[in-house]
Structure 1
Amino acid sequence: MARRERVVRMSVEQPLWRAVTAYRVGTMVYAVLVFVFGRERYERPWIAVAFLAALGVWTLVTLPKVANAAGCTKRFLVADLAVALTGILLTPLADLDARSTDHPTLPTIWTAGTALAWALRGGWRWAGFASSLVAVANIIERGSPSRDTLHNVLLVWVASIAIGYVVEVARASERTLARALEIEAATRERERLARDIHDSVLQVLAMVQRRGTALGGEAAELGRMAGEQEVALRTLVAGGLTRTSHVSEDESEGAVVRIVEVPDAEETEGAELDLRTLLAPRAGARVTLADPGAPVVLPAPAARELAAAVGAALDNVRAHAGDGARAWILVEDWGDEVIVTVRDDGPGIPDGRLAQAEGEGRMGVALSIRGRLRDLGGTAELISIPGQGTEVELKVPRAPRERGKAGAK
């Protein structure tokens, strides 16, 4: 029975949202208690009562908004910040001596919860914006920036920005961890499938190949086809790179053909591609692909052009090296450049044959291979010894170079 791997995503910021929720309720109660025990100093207590009543209702009604990032919308954050700023600016109207005696504002430390909500929702930049507005409101409320006011403002500003930065780092780490868990689960599943296939399908195909070759005749042809499918299946299982859309049967050849989905140019415009995903479908019974085992990431246009150049080289092998020739594709990632080597065991190219072909107007190597690499700022080197096969070395730099610089080298 097949097992299904489950990847559990962990939210490192959810406990912070719960902490902000508790903080808002606690500081709302604290603001009410500060007023109750110091109500004798308010010349207009009805202003304070009205604001604190509105603050209590707002805090309790909006608890679902600060339960998670999805509920904490931009519109809510703006309204929440407006409530905090209104409470700060109303303080001198309710307490006429607030400026001269450094009495607390009406919302007191509840305003810090607003800055923290901005930090959790948008990171340190949003936190800096909200805490800066709170700082300006506090300075306007005091009339002049006293030492205590600056101290409180700086504390809120630094704390909210620090928490916003920590949240951004935590989110990036969470995404990295989730991706690593997905890759690990996919790798385990692929290894399990590889074991099952090796113990059943691949062994049957290998047996059909051996028995068909021994029997000869039509059975030999069946054995040859089984051998080709064994190689193709081994490549697919070992790489696990391509997405198979469907499998069909070729009536003319009597073989099973694997139809592979290739990323569309419009979907990958401006993105990056793993070169291995474009080269994996080219492997088969007579073409062996060797790659680093890790993603070889290139800009999408460069990856497609390099894969097309490899395809052109393989076309030359099929056209000029004979039906029985084998080819090998070697992918090397050197950090600053990617090198792909295509080698075959054909008869090689006689001296002067390439120049003669270009003179006759057959520009396959010149345009399909060298032209593509030149446009990418890379190079294509062809080495062929008569009787010993041909080797095409394709080099593409990681960062595109100007044609002038590439041509000067």
Structure 2
Amino acid sequence: MEGHQVRIGSGLQRAQSFLVLATLLYRTSHLVVGLTGVVRSAHGRPASWLLMSAAVGCSVLAFAPARSGGWFRRPAVVADVLVVGCALPFASYFWAGAQDTPAIGWAMLLGGSSSALAAVGLGRWPAAGAITLIAGTHVIGYRMTGAGAAVVVGHTNSVLSSAAIAWVLWWYVRRQGNLLDAATEQAMASEAERVRYAERMAHHRVLHDTVLATLTTIARGGVDANSERVRARCSREAAYLRRLIQRSDDEEGPVPGLGAALEGAVRAAEDLELKVTAQYHELPVLPREVVAALADAVGEALNNVQRHAGTGHAFLTAAGHGDGVAVRIVDQGAGFAPGDGDTAGHLGLAQSVHARMREAGGRAEVDSAPGEGTVVELRWPR
């Protein structure tokens, strides 16, 4: 994996970290058994201890950088194969006097973890060559000590099996890591698309609740387009949309307290010559996104009164209850039958009222009937 860039926190990086840990534990178990063998057979010979120290040193050289850097360095793996996998058995035989099968066993045992390290730390063909070299070395070493065919075959099988198991495990966790990375990228793309859609809907709501509401009212002749209040509202909406267009993604303007936010919605409705009688009782301090959602939903409900109710008067009450709040917008206008165009797919109620409250963790309820006016109730939390 040298030279291969792996994204921090990716599935492939996790797979690599797992393989490093697994092979480290395998090597540690062999070192513990080897240390026990040295203690039992050294008989005061310092050479066995020096060889054991060399095995520990090669292990540190191979695994310490891998643990900190995320994967094995090829020169360290090659050094481990040459020293621990190949040189150690011959050095034990010729230098440390391990000239029988039990005495040389600890040095041979380390060949299994060396072949496993080669299987995962080298490329396919270099790993095959290294494993063949280790197996050949161990066959020769055991034959030198006069070991029987069963011991030679059994140990060779252990060396090859260790490499095969390590390679299969590496193949599997690498595949799972790549699948996880692919799934993560797909999820991120889906989330980005969802955010883009939510942003588009937010822009649609702003346009619907401000500019479109104002233009619709003026087009219907319900207000004097040249009046000072209408012109003031148009100016505020133009300034707001200009800020919206120029604002960067991470900028957020200040959201006022709930009372001030509701008053802003009331003043905007009054600019279109809708009289609003408002009462507030013990309003709580709410999260900024909840304040924004309530104020926008109230603004759209008042816009609906002005556009559809056929009355010039609406009543607004807002009362806190514990950490929550209930807001009611009432008119005594024309009303409508549930299920008609104003509830089934109407952008104002569906998106600018119901959806806003849902997204903020609240709910909206609309009660209306032809000739009996309309009541819109907003609650947070649900």
Query: What interval of TM-score do these two structures reach, taking the shorter chain for normalisation?
Result: 0.3 to 0.5
Of structures 1 and 2, the larger Rg is shown by 2
TM-score normalised by length of structure 1: 0.42
Higher helix share: 2
